[in-house]
Amino acid sequence: MSLDPAETNPDHYKVIFENDRVRVLEYVDQPGTVTAPHQHPDSVMYTLSSFRRRLVQGDEQREVEIEAGTVGWLPAQQHHGENIGETPTHAIFVELKGPTASAGDETLGPTA
């Protein structure tokens, strides 16, 4: 079973650019949307809207609220999420291909 978000959640993740070094995904959802489990490699996320989400990684869950215009590093992860706010989620993910980068950079944590 694939955990590629563009395959597990095709109504929400759209590949908008890809080459041998990066893949760029656009993510859009509405309040109440729950994503299927999926995984991301190391990525950079840029939020186009402000939103509130519940993130579930294994037995752990947490709620995040992120403002529009936020840019941050996301280490590789597997999760699923739920839009628990009153606004749509709209974000761009730049997924890195190749060796895993070091985790010393600023991290936002799981988001979608």
Structural domains for the chain: 5-96 (2.60.120.10)
Query: Under a CB-based contact definition with an 8 Å cutoff, are residues 40 and 73 in contact?
Result: no
Do residues 45 and 26 make contact, with C-beta atoms less than 8 angstroms apart?
Answer: no
Between strands 51-57 and 60-66, the pairing is antiparallel
Quote the pTM value: 0.86
On the question of pLDDT at 103 being above 50, the answer is no
| HSE-up (13 A, CA, CB side) for residue 82 | 9
Tell me which residue of 100, 44, 103, 108 sits closest to 81, measured CA to CA. Answer: 108
User: pLDDT tens digit string along 15-48?
Assistant: 999 999 999 999 999 999 999 999 999 999 999 9
Residue 12 has pLDDT above 70, yes or no: yes
What integer pLDDT is reported at residue 105 of this predicted model?
A: 47
Average pLDDT of span 79-105: 85
